[in-house]
Amino acid sequence: MFNQIIAPKKSMQDQFDTLINSICTNVSGGELKQLGALFTQSFLQGLSKIIYENEMNNHPSCDIEVESQLCWIDKAPYAQLCDGIPFDRKVELGDAMFIFDKQFIDNNSQKLISERKKAFILQAKVTDKDDKNALVPITGYDPIKKNSTFKELELYKQWLPFNISYASNTNRIEEPKVDVIKYRTTDTYRFAWYGVVADKKNGSHYNWPCRWMVGKSLMGQPCDRTMGELLSGFYQDNNVDGVHVGEYYSGTTDSNAAWGKVVWHVLTRCQQLKMPKEVPQHSILNCRKISYKKSYKNKLHSLGLDKKVINDIASLLIYHPNLPMQLIVYKTICHHLKNKKIKPNDFICKAAIKAISIGATPITVNVKGIKKPRSFPIIRIVVKRYNNE
């Protein structure tokens, strides 16, 4: 039975897709409703666990802390092209934003050694044609009437300089002449991706392995990649369809300061608005930000346990919180030592349990704001790695 618990792990992409499918399988309707179903506390918690496990596998000698936030914006900020060509009216920046903040901290001094921040926008669409791949921009593109679909794609295709404002009915400009491709003229796709979901509850066609499929912002581009692939590419710095997912705006030699301004205004606007009705259980939430935090101080490496043992214990504690801690630690060590004809040392087991008990902190959920029609969700993940060397 225990061997089944520590079965080979799925890839990060598969884990993300499984999580998304489990949350969205029985949801139908428009993109706002389906976005509201996806961007929930359950999604945030599952997302955090997957990222946490990945960090533990890649950095077994570090203490790891994952902080997650889900924020919502009401159709804002807006972008308006400076030159008014090919359109002169305002357009919403998108339907969602993902932000990733990676920090490396000295455990003794608590001094921040390095930090890198990146983000991307998701444009969400819904379709009733789940028997084939949806093609960007999914819904009707009208260059004559210059509808919202037209403006969205034209913004993403070129990212011409634009002004940022917080409302559609004001002339006030919050940030003028934002030029996000000033140093990135060869790649405009990384900033925004299209996500499409079938309006039916359970799409079973082979073209839809994930309820949310994605494609880069290019006319006629098939949405043939899963949301799990997009998110794993984002968090692991892997290209998707030959394109980097998201843009770094802090902490790298080629950080994009202009993109940092966009992210700053998204977060600033979030603090001014309220929770949308599309969020399940919105009536019991008293704020517009849902936060999930899981901190785990990994002291196991100091006990002489190898990387495989450390990773399995840490992962099992996260994914099987109802199993007794002593059982997980003891059985895991036994499993790894059985082929070496070595009995697990009781001292090591007890020391491992003590190290885990001292370092673990409870999961906390904080919410801020009240309901508001329509929404722009923001998922912000902060990973803190504490150097123990």
Q: How would you write the pLDDT of the chain (389 residues) with one tens digit per residue?
A: 455 555 556 899 999 999 999 988 788 877 777 887 787 778 888 888 888 888 877 877 777 777 777 776 666 789 999 999 999 999 999 888 999 999 888 877 888 899 999 999 999 998 887 767 899 999 889 999 999 999 999 999 999 999 999 988 889 999 999 999 976 666 899 999 999 988 776 555 677 889 999 999 999 999 999 999 999 999 999 999 999 999 999 999 889 999 999 999 988 887 765 555 555 544 344 344 444 444 444 555 555 556 566 667 766 766 676 676 667 777 777 776 665 555 556 655 666 655 554 444 433 333 343 334 456 777 888 888 877 65
Nearest to 366 by CA among 45, 19, 21: 45
The answer to whether position 82 is within a domain reads yes
Q: Domain check: are 236 and 355 in the same one?
A: no
The answer to whether position 154 is within a domain reads yes
The answer to whether position 6 is within a domain reads no
The answer to whether position 146 is within a domain reads yes
Q: Domain check: are 127 and 182 in the same one?
A: yes
Q: Domain check: are 176 and 243 in the same one?
A: yes
Residue 185 confidence (pLDDT): 64
Q: Domain check: are 43 and 159 in the same one?
A: yes
Non-local (6+) Cβ contacts of 206 within 8 A are none
The answer to whether position 324 is within a domain reads yes
Q: Domain check: are 311 and 172 in the same one?
A: no
Q: Domain check: are 168 and 34 in the same one?
A: yes
| Largest interatomic CA distance in the chain | 76
Q: Domain check: are 335 and 377 in the same one?
A: no
For residues 203 and 127, is the Cβ–Cβ distance under 8 A?
no
Nearest to 295 by CA among 318, 325, 313: 318
Backbone angles phi, psi at 349, to 5 degrees: -60, -45
Q: Domain check: are 322 and 256 in the same one?
A: no
Backbone angles phi, psi at 49, to 5 degrees: -65, -40
For residues 202 and 210, is the Cβ–Cβ distance under 8 A?
no
Distance of alpha carbon 76 from its chain centroid, rounded? 19
Backbone angles phi, psi at 330, to 5 degrees: -65, -50
Q: Domain check: are 185 and 310 in the same one?
A: no
Q: Which residues, in sequence order, are bridge partners of residue 164?
A: 79, 175
Amino acid identity, position 158: Q
Q: Domain check: are 267 and 331 in the same one?
A: no
User: How many domains is the chain partitioned into structurally?
Assistant: 2
- Token output for 263: 């992210």
- The range of the structural domain enclosing residue 316 comes to 300-359
Residue 36 confidence (pLDDT): 78
The answer to whether position 178 is within a domain reads yes
The answer to whether position 380 is within a domain reads yes
- Token output for 275: 């929770």
- Token output for 6: 């520590």
- Would you mind telling me the total number of residues written for the chain in this entry? 389
Residue 295 confidence (pLDDT): 47
For residues 248 and 240, is the Cβ–Cβ distance under 8 A?
no
Non-local (6+) Cβ contacts of 83 within 8 A are 160, 161
The answer to whether position 5 is within a domain reads no
Q: Can you give the pTM of this predicted structure?
A: 0.79
- Token output for 100: 């990733």
CA distance 136 to 120: 17
Q: Domain check: are 161 and 95 in the same one?
A: yes
Q: Domain check: are 337 and 196 in the same one?
A: no
